[in-house]
């Protein structure tokens, strides 16, 4: 099942819109939609937040590994 997600990112004080097509299992979409509903937000906003959290954690992980090796 395809989901259309509209994500907004800020770069150099400009809003840059990116449309991202994601193929997910129906059960995953239903779980994400239920979570979005409980948080009273859209599916796109929830996925945007998940991606931001993931990238932030990945950056922190990269920083930690650089500190350990450096």
Read off the pLDDT of residues 27-50 as tens digits, 9 standing for 90 and up. Answer: 999 999 999 999 999 998 999 899
Cite the beta strand spans of the chain per DSSP E. Answer: 2-11, 14-23
Question: Contact, 35 vs 41, CB < 8 A?
Answer: no
Closest CA to 51 of 2, 1, 7, 4: 7
Identify the pLDDT of residue 2: 46
C-alpha distances in angstroms, 53 versus 33, 36, 49, 60? 18, 16, 6, 11
User: pTM (2 decimals)?
Assistant: 0.61
């Amino acid at each position: 099942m395809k989901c259309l997600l509209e994500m907004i990112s800020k770069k150099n004080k400009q809003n840059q819109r990116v449309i991202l097509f994601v193929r997910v299992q129906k059960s995953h979409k239903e779980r994400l939609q239920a979570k979005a509903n409980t948080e009273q937000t859209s599916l796109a906003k929830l996925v945007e937040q998940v991606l931001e959290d993931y990238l932030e954690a990945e950056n922190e992980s990269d920083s930690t590994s650089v500190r350990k090796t450096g």
